Amino acid sequence: MFLPRVGLETLKPYSVEEINWPIKIDANERPTDLPPAVKAKVMEKLAALPFNRYPEISAQSLKTAIGAAYGLTAANVLIGNGSSEVLEALCFSFSGAGRSIVYPTPSFSMYGIYAKLADSRPVPVELNADFSLDADKLLATAAQTQAGVVLLCNPNNPTGTVMPQDQVEYIVANTKSLVVVDEAYHEFYGSTSVGLLKKYPNVAIARTFSKAYGLASARVGYLLASEEIAKTAGKVLLPYNVNALTLATAEIVFSMRQYFADSIAENSRERTRMAAALGAISGITVYPSQTNFLLIKSENAAAIVARLNERGIGVRDFSTAPGLSGCIRIGIGTPAENNAVLEAITL
Ligand SMILES: *Cc1c(COP(=O)(O)O)cnc(C)c1O
């Protein structure tokens, strides 16, 4: 007799609405393809790749390059199929049955799913009305529920807001759980918790190539952590988990990451411009953001989304999600795309 694994009935299949919007600003992707010089190097490297061979075991070259950029070694780094796989590996290896996984809410919707996949209890802790975090409430919840892992998204998706670095440190210093800082939007924020790695044994950082570095297609992310944490989390990854095409592409992108500086800076300028313009519209609240998107709130959210969609603009509608009523997440696109958004909302 065959039956699904116990507990799996509580998991809903992950579903996102997939529409090929002419202006696609619903998934926080980079609005344009790789810088041409970077793409040319990637294609050159892929052309020379022996497709018949397995990838380099444990992705040593990319780990070494990433580690070196942070004063760390390859032993402090893991490479995953997106940071999703890194986050999942941390939950699998530091949580499990009888423990909880604690995270602020609203935040990245996958956290609860990682918890269930790890046979752990998902325990969301509600953010304040301005999306700031009550650190003591989170710490008390982690202690009471025997959290294996505390997940902090900084900057936070989908709110765009940030936790001050001293608050992250306060949490790390006052819990025995592993604190994972998901820095998917780090490149737009500039600030990082990497400095905590040298001070505390119970902290890990997850990063992705999917957002600022424009590699959502390739699925690649990485962990920065102590050797002990990296070694333990690495146990639950399959051998050759990341394919050779992705590794080759990520190596080029990481070595040429200065080519992305201009577009990251432009994205931030555009975010400032959009925040001011949207904030000037009566009935719209714009939350402060240090990411490549803005969360706005309006009583007319449904009408705004409909108007954007009519004009071929896809955004992420959170207006009926818990804790996000009336909220829409609007990605920052190219200047022309952003103008189209403003025009659609103001008309
Ligand atoms: C996009 C995103 C990720 C995952 O990205 P990958 O494509 O799996 O690397 C992780 N965390 C947050 C908060 C994100 O927004």
Rounded Cα distance between 200 and 148, Å, is: 16
Rounded Cα distance between 38 and 20, Å, is: 25
Q: Calculate helix-pair angle for 165-173, 135-144, nearest 10 degrees.
A: 30
User: What per-residue confidence (pLDDT) applies to 204?
Assistant: 98
User: What per-residue confidence (pLDDT) applies to 1?
Assistant: 79
Q: Which atom of ligand 1 is nearest to the CA of 84?
A: 8
Bridging pattern class, strands 178-182 and 147-153: parallel
Q: Which atom of ligand 1 is nearest to the CA of 211?
A: 1
User: What per-residue confidence (pLDDT) applies to 207?
Assistant: 98
**The whole model's pTM is what?**
0.97
Q: What is the mean pLDDT of each run of 10 residues along the chain (347 residues)?
A: 86 80 97 98 98 93 98 98 98 97 97 96 97 98 98 98 98 98 97 98 98 98 98 96 98 98 98 98 97 98 97 97 97 98 93
User: What per-residue confidence (pLDDT) applies to 63?
Assistant: 98
All structural domains of the chain, each given as residue ranges with its CATH number in brackets, are 13-34+260-346 (3.90.1150.10), 36-255 (3.40.640.10)
The number of CA neighbours under 13 Å toward the Cβ of 185 is 28
What residue ranges line ligand 1, CB within 6 angstroms? 28, 82-84, 108, 153, 157, 182, 184, 208, 210-211, 216, 221
